[in-house]
Amino acid sequence: MRAGKETGMPIAERFESIGRKGRQKKTLRCGADSLAGSVSQRACVYCGARVVLNPVTDAVHLVHGPIGCAVYTWDIRGSLSSDAELYRSSFSTDLKERDVVFGGEEKLTRAIDQLVEKYHPPVVFVYSTCIVGVIGDDLEAVCKSASRRHAIEVIPVESTGFSGNKADGYRAACDVLMRVIASGQREREEAGESGSSSRDELAINYLGDFNLAGEAWIIRDYFREIGIPVNTVFTGDSTYESIRGAGRARLNIMQCAGSMNYLAGKMEEQFGIPCLQVSFVGLTDTADSLRRVAAFLGDEKICWRAEELIARESEKVKPLIREYRRKMKGKKAAIYVGGGFKAISLVRQFGELGIDVVMVGTQTGRKEEYETLFDLASEGTVILDDANPSELEKFMVEEGADLLVGGVKERPLAYKLGVAFIDHNHDRKHPLSGFTGAVNFAGEVYTTLFSPVWKFTRGGEVWENGGYSYGRASC
Amino acid sequence: MLDSTPKELKERRFGVINPAKTCQPLGAMYAALGLHRCLPHSHGSQGCCSYHRMHLTRHFRDPIMASTSSFTEGSSIFGGAANLKTAIRNVFEIYNPDIVAIHTTCLSETIGDDLPSFLGTIDIPAGKRIIHANTPSYAGSHITGFSSMTRAMVDYFAEASLPEKKEQVNVLPGFVNPGDMREIKRIVRTMGLEPILFPDTAGVVDAPMTGQFSMYPEGGARVEKIIDAGNSRYTLALGLFASSDPAMLLERKCGVEEILLKTPIGIKATDNLLMALRFGFLREISPELAEERGQLVDIMTDTHFHFHGKKVALFGDPDIVSALTEFLLSLGMQPVHVLTGTPGKAFENEVGTMLEEAGIRGRVKAGGDLFEFHQWIKNEPVDLLIGNTYGKYIARAEDIPFVRMGFPNLDRSVHSYLPVVGYKGAMRIIEMVSNALLDRVDRDALDEDFELVM
């Protein structure tokens, strides 16, 4: 039996969230709540806040709630640190029945005290969970008094799980980051370093890279080489101090807009730091982004060095990419990722590799991003928002995808269909950013597409065809 | 990574650092996957469902299907009745399962959603079934949740419809891998009995590759069988924490006698399983199993000098850890630090008694965390660490050989297919443990001490 059998067609409520290039107007319904009863691949507000803040390496990330929320986010992001490792431990108030009845504020207070005493962190993030939103613990007050007691920042994260979706969690995290940035800024101003004069005229902040597999380091090194210091990365390999210094930068560049758009807006509004959208996924986007940043800063030497770097790195990787392209041309890919920016870049990157994208979807893409996807995609490409596994399966099978790009929950689904898979999420093991990353990506795509395992996936066929034929030895 | 863990032990009563358990709904979801054509349904925020699916997917490396009520701000004020109603309608319409197994979450429990009364107002399509379990995340652990969902299966399905009990046996395997469930069924069948084993995730989360995706693979316990479980002579409850509660309900509800056993890990616990079948049903021990036992003892003899006196720290789920402690003692090892994250004094009593009888002074704790466990190891170093994936931080910090066992295992594969239960499973444990110990000896040996034959 073919699956999709459980489901037939997507039900009526989902029609507006699924489109096909060339057959309709270029919009999708997106950003809506998932349907009750769906097998959604989406997560909650807490999840959104946690993934954005988690890479702050020297913070205590204390989850105020029952144990689960802390367990499922324990060291899963794969964001690398150059120094502190505190963010890789899991802290929870482990709320129990009596806390639910009598309130968890006392327990939270003690937990903060003990953790501060033990680890001496510069900052504690206290995450709110579903249950805290219901029992009404006053996190702000608890954190404020702890902050006073310990003379460090103790900041509540408004991440009550049910109060929206993952994107609302991104905002909650950005609010926290903004609070830290603002306090750093205030302190500098009080010390007489006033706003714009304390700016490093070339320094940039890099928003929306979580340093998975060390990706932010690759990009930082590119900028360093062309003479642009990266001031703060949000939030890959960041620290409390580095975030406090973010106001020093002249320019923000933003990769993952889904999570960082809000912060970029706030920083522009409050500190007058403008923002450029960039992407370091794929050769075209990487080169283009480096050029635009260099041009923005308007220094001729920098532009020139950027061209030099682009030329050199492109030269290095192009023969490799060309070779992969030769082997993989004509294969078909499906994409299902978290945010829109990544989907857009991946469509371009597959273009570089000669691979057709037959389906592309995201969990939390925005309207403009879907419009871009409609522009970029080739005729007939399926474009969808907040897909469930049955829909992913249906379109992968119908469109004959050879490869799926996705996250942890999509991997086994693809494998079951005998479809190759690339993790472009937390479980990636190689950096996929920049020129180096483009080659890694092509290599990973090649490895999975051409694995001998796909020859064995349909056992029945082998038996019906009478086994394998081996080259006949001459005798 | 854990360099900052201090050696000095101080009582910590407020919160957990590096947990050794997770929340109830995950266990309920896993249990529900052990019903044929069942879709687990999480009544709460969609994050819970997503997290549980992700965690289970990482462990089993198979698609884990479950739906969610997708609570919003509104539902948490006005209650989740409307969401549940819509959800159930959509689930049957879109995903067409035979059974929906609903579990609650901390959110729906705290706002006081009353599932039985909600369910009373929902139209269930003909031939379809809904069961539910209350699994507030702020009590117990994933093991409690597993137990609660298993109990719901008894509660909703089991019926004593015959005047006399049948020569059949119910087996409640507890929270173990599908590979273990397969092995337990094989053992019971080899004894000439057809087990009614539930939950049974074999063929669901270890389904074979066919080139096709199925929401509901071939495996899972059949409802008709669980209904008939009320007519069985005995229920073997494997593991106090995961299985005793549903077995007791089965005894109360249907008069099926409960035999409480350890999870059959190691020689003694497997012996006891066979003895229960032998005396309960007057069967002879099958020659096949007798041979396996003989092989196991042969292996234990061949390798006993590798194990004797070695100190072990082990942690994980209570039923697994308790049985494993017993086996380690059979091997002559010294389990000096034994911890579970699941709360329950019974664990401390059970393990404490075993250690005491063996004359070992060790630390035992239920409801503990891995921060404290690490401190114990710092205070009394061990030769071997056994536990789930999260043990790897401690193994690295203290440079201890590490054997992965239990849930979750996020960084190694194949484990869910191969059993640790029964005589065969015991052989596998010995292989894993001795390989870990001997690899370390080889790694650390000076050239002049490096030996070919060991």
**A95 and A141 inside one domain:** yes
Instruction: Give A197's DSSP letter.
Output: G
**B281 and B299 inside one domain:** no
Residue A103 region by backbone torsions, left for phi larger than 0, else alpha for psi between -120 and 50, else beta: left
**pLDDT attached to residue A42:** 76
Per residue in B69-87, pLDDT (tens digit) is 988 888 878 889 999 999 9
**B135 and B174 inside one domain:** no
Instruction: Give A79's DSSP letter.
Output: B
Pick A37's closest partner by Cβ from B1, B14, B67: B67
Query: What backbone torsions phi and psi does residue A19 show, to the nearest 5 degrees?
Result: -135, 175
CA separation for the pair A349, A317 (Å, rounded): 14
Task: Look at A34 and B70 and tell me if their CB atoms are within 8 Å.
Answer: yes
Specify if A6 maps to a domain.
Answer: no
Specify if A388 maps to a domain.
Answer: yes
End-to-end distance of chain B based on CA atoms, in angstroms?
A: 34
Per residue in A209-243, pLDDT (tens digit) is 999 999 999 999 999 999 999 999 999 999 999 99
SS (H, E, C) chain B: CCCCCCCCCCCCCCCEECECCCCHHHHHHHHHHCECCEEEEEECCHHHHHHHHHHHHHHHCCCCCCEECCCCHHHHHHCCHHHHHHHHHHHHHHHCCCEEEEEECHHHHHCCCCHHHHHHCCCCCCCCEEEEECCCCCCCCHHHHHHHHHHHHHHHHCCCCCCCCEEEEEEECCCCCHHHHHHHHHHHHHCCCCEEECCCCCCCCCCCCCCCCCCCCCCCECHHHHHHHHHEEEEEEECHHHHHHHHHHHHHHHCCEEEEECCCCCHHHHHHHHHHHHHHHCCCCCHHHHHHHHHHHHHHHHHHHHHCCCEEEEEECHHHHHHHHHHHHHCCCEEEEEEECCCCHHHHHHHHHHHHHCCCCCEEEECCEHHHHHHHHHHCCCCEEEECCCHHHHHHHHCCCEEECCCCCCCCCCCCCCCCCHHHHHHHHHHHHHHHHHHHHHHHCCHHHCCCCC
**A20 and A131 inside one domain:** no
The residues near A466 (Cβ < 8 Å, ≥ 6 apart) are none
Specify if A464 maps to a domain.
Answer: no
CA distance A406 to chain B (A): 13
Specify if A123 maps to a domain.
Answer: yes
CA distance A388 to chain B (A): 10
For residue A427, the chain B residue with the least C-alpha distance is B58
**B229 and B275 inside one domain:** yes
Pick B16's closest partner by Cβ from A7, A67, A129: A67
| Domain end point (choices A136, A164, A187) | A187
Residue to mutate among A63, A100, A416, A426, with most B CBs inside 10 A, is: A416
**A413 and A346 inside one domain:** yes
**pLDDT attached to residue A459:** 63
3-state percent breakdown (helix, strand, coil) of chain A, nearest 5: 50, 15, 35
For residue A460, the chain B residue with the least C-alpha distance is B210
Specify if B13 maps to a domain.
Answer: no
**pLDDT attached to residue A460:** 64
**B42 and B118 inside one domain:** yes
**pLDDT attached to residue B339:** 98
CA distance A407 to chain B (A): 10
Answer for the pair B324, B266: CB distance below 8 angstroms, yes or no. yes
Specify if B80 maps to a domain.
Answer: yes
Task: Look at B86 and A110 and tell me if their CB atoms are within 8 Å.
Answer: no
**pLDDT attached to residue B93:** 92
| Domain end point (choices A141, A171, A187) | A187
CA distance B12 to chain A (A): 8
**A325 and A308 inside one domain:** no
Question: Measured in whole angstroms, how far is the alpha carbon of residue A48 from the centre of its chain?
Answer: 10
A136 touching B (Cβ < 8 Å):
no
**A303 and A206 inside one domain:** yes
Instruction: Give A450's DSSP letter.
Output: T
Pick A413's closest partner by Cβ from B15, B73, B213: B213
For residue B342, the chain A residue with the least C-alpha distance is A67
Number of structural domains in chain A: 3
Residues in chain A, pLDDT under 50 = 1-8, 474-475
Tokens of B259: 């035999």
Pick A94's closest partner by Cβ from B15, B111, B209: B15
Question: Taking CB atoms and an 8 Å cutoff, what residues of chain A touch B41?
Answer: 37
Residue B118 clears pLDDT 70, i.e. is over it: yes
**B107 and B129 inside one domain:** yes
Beta bridge partners of A156: A126
Specify if A448 maps to a domain.
Answer: yes
**pLDDT attached to residue A22:** 77
**A196 and A178 inside one domain:** no
| Residue A345: strand, helix, or coil | helix
Question: Taking CB atoms and an 8 Å cutoff, what residues of chain B touch A460?
Answer: 210
**B222 and B368 inside one domain:** no
**A170 and A209 inside one domain:** no
**B307 and B261 inside one domain:** no
| Domain end point (choices B286, B315, B342) | B286
**B44 and B81 inside one domain:** yes
Query: What backbone torsions phi and psi does residue B123 show, to the nearest 5 degrees?
Result: -80, 120
Please write down the long-range contacts of A274-279, taking CB distance under 8 Å and 24 or more positions apart: A275/A207, A275/A251, A276/A251, A276/A252, A277/A253, A277/A341, A278/A253, A278/A254, A279/A255, A279/A341, A279/A344, A279/A345
CA separation for the pair B225, B244 (Å, rounded): 19
Query: What backbone torsions phi and psi does residue A120 show, to the nearest 5 degrees?
Result: 45, 55
| Residue A283: strand, helix, or coil | helix
Name which residue leads in pLDDT, B365 or A429. Answer: B365
For residue B88, the chain A residue with the least C-alpha distance is A37
Task: Look at A418 and B211 and tell me if their CB atoms are within 8 Å.
Answer: yes
**B315 and B430 inside one domain:** yes
Question: Taking CB atoms and an 8 Å cutoff, what residues of chain B touch A134?
Answer: 76, 107, 110-111
Specify if A2 maps to a domain.
Answer: no
CA separation for the pair A11, A171 (Å, rounded): 31
Residue to mutate among A33, A94, A423, with most B CBs inside 10 A, is: A94
Residue to mutate among A130, A170, A402, A456, with most B CBs inside 10 A, is: A130
Per residue in B6-65, pLDDT (tens digit) is 888 887 778 999 999 999 999 999 999 999 999 999 999 889 999 999 999 999 999 999
Strand locations in A269-339 (E): 275-277, 332-337
Pick B47's closest partner by Cβ from A2, A93, A161: A161
- Residue A165: which of A378, A389, A305, A339 has the closest Cα? A339
Maximum distance among all Cα pairs of chain B, rounded to whole angstroms:
77
**A83 and A177 inside one domain:** yes
Specify if B19 maps to a domain.
Answer: no
| Domain end point (choices A290, A312, A334) | A312
Specify if A280 maps to a domain.
Answer: yes
**B228 and B195 inside one domain:** yes
Per the listing, tokens 């299902």 go with A336
**B255 and B305 inside one domain:** no
Tokens of A167: 């994107």
Specify if B107 maps to a domain.
Answer: yes
The domain in which residue B204 lies consists of 166-208+216-286
Number of structural domains in chain B: 3
| Residue A206: strand, helix, or coil | strand
Residue to mutate among A57, A71, A99, A336, with most B CBs inside 10 A, is: A71
**A250 and A276 inside one domain:** yes
Question: Taking CB atoms and an 8 Å cutoff, what residues of chain A touch B44?
Answer: 130, 162
User: What count of CB pairs under 8 Å joins A to B?
Assistant: 265
Question: Taking CB atoms and an 8 Å cutoff, what residues of chain A touch B53?
Answer: 409
Task: Look at A45 and B73 and tell me if their CB atoms are within 8 Å.
Answer: no
Q: Which residues of B349-377 are buried (b: 16+ CB within 10 A; e: fewer)?
A: ebbbebbeebebebbbbbbbbbbbbbbbb
For residues B367-394, average pLDDT: 97
**pLDDT attached to residue B8:** 85
**pLDDT attached to residue B172:** 98
Question: Taking CB atoms and an 8 Å cutoff, what residues of chain B touch A91?
Answer: 15-17
Specify if B16 maps to a domain.
Answer: no
A404 touching B (Cβ < 8 Å):
no
Answer for the pair A278, A207: CB distance below 8 angstroms, yes or no. no
Question: Taking CB atoms and an 8 Å cutoff, what residues of chain A touch B59?
Answer: none
**B193 and B303 inside one domain:** no
Tokens of A81: 């640190």
For residue B66, the chain A residue with the least C-alpha distance is A39
The domain in which residue A275 lies consists of 192-312
Specify if B174 maps to a domain.
Answer: yes
Residue to mutate among A72, A75, A97, A363, with most B CBs inside 10 A, is: A72
Whole-Å CA distances, B240 to B147, B262, B280, B347? 10, 7, 19, 9
Question: Taking CB atoms and an 8 Å cutoff, what residues of chain B touch A38?
Answer: 67-68, 70, 90, 94
CA distance A66 to chain B (A): 5
Return the H-helix or E-strand segment holding A71. Answer: helix A67-71
A400 touching B (Cβ < 8 Å):
no
**A287 and A391 inside one domain:** no
For residues B135-156, average pLDDT: 97
Q: Which residues of B379-399 are buried (b: 16+ CB within 10 A; e: fewer)?
A: eeebbbbbbbbbbbbbbebbe
Residue to mutate among B11, B46, B76, B100, with most A CBs inside 10 A, is: B46
End-to-end distance of chain A based on CA atoms, in angstroms?
A: 45
Question: Taking CB atoms and an 8 Å cutoff, what residues of chain B touch A73?
Answer: 51
For residues B383-405, average pLDDT: 97
Task: Look at B25 and A417 and tell me if their CB atoms are within 8 Å.
Answer: no
Tokens of A217: 């380091």
Interface of A with B in 409-428 (CB under 8 A): 409, 411-413, 415-418
CA separation for the pair B266, B269 (Å, rounded): 6
A45 touching B (Cβ < 8 Å):
yes
A62 touching B (Cβ < 8 Å):
yes
For residue A109, the chain B residue with the least C-alpha distance is B14
Specify the CATH number for the domain of residue A98. 3.40.50.1980
Whole-Å CA distances, A438 to A334, A353, A408, A445? 18, 10, 21, 10
A88 touching B (Cβ < 8 Å):
yes
A107 touching B (Cβ < 8 Å):
yes
The residues near B184 (Cβ < 8 Å, ≥ 6 apart) are B171, B173, B195, B197, B238, B264, B273, B421, B422
Tokens of A206: 């890099």
Strand order of the sheet with strand A382-385? Answer: A18-20, A382-385, A356-362, A332-337, A403-406, A420-423
β pairing state of B166-172 and B195-197: parallel
Answer for the pair B197, B181: CB distance below 8 angstroms, yes or no. yes
Question: Measured in whole angstroms, how far is the alpha carbon of residue A135 from the centre of its chain?
Answer: 31
| Residue A69: strand, helix, or coil | helix
**pLDDT attached to residue A3:** 36
For residue B94, the chain A residue with the least C-alpha distance is A7
What does the DSSP assignment read for A347-393? HHHHHHTTPEEEEEEESS--HHHHHHHHHHSPTT-EEEES--HHHHH
Question: Taking CB atoms and an 8 Å cutoff, what residues of chain A touch B84?
Answer: 36
Task: Look at B45 and A161 and tell me if their CB atoms are within 8 Å.
Answer: yes
Whole-Å CA distances, B186 to A117, A455, B324, B365? 53, 31, 21, 34
For residues B113-124, average pLDDT: 93
Question: Taking CB atoms and an 8 Å cutoff, what residues of chain A touch B2?
Answer: 89
Specify the CATH number for the domain of residue B276. 3.40.50.1980
Specify if B150 maps to a domain.
Answer: no
| Residue A117: strand, helix, or coil | helix
Interface of A with B in 165-204 (CB under 8 A): 165
Q: Which residues of B45-83 are buried (b: 16+ CB within 10 A; e: fewer)?
A: bbbbbbbbbbbbbbbbbbbbbbbbbbbbeebbeebbbeb
**A420 and A347 inside one domain:** yes
- Residue B29: which of B128, B132, B172, B183 has the closest Cα? B132
| Domain end point (choices B139, B174, B198) | B139
**A182 and A49 inside one domain:** yes
Residue B167 clears pLDDT 50, i.e. is over it: yes
Tokens of B340: 């579970």
Specify if B18 maps to a domain.
Answer: no
Instruction: Tell me the torsion sign for CA atoms B306, B311, B317, B318.
Output: positive
For residue A372, the one-letter residue type is: T
Answer for the pair A43, A65: CB distance below 8 angstroms, yes or no. no
Tokens of B1: 């990574």
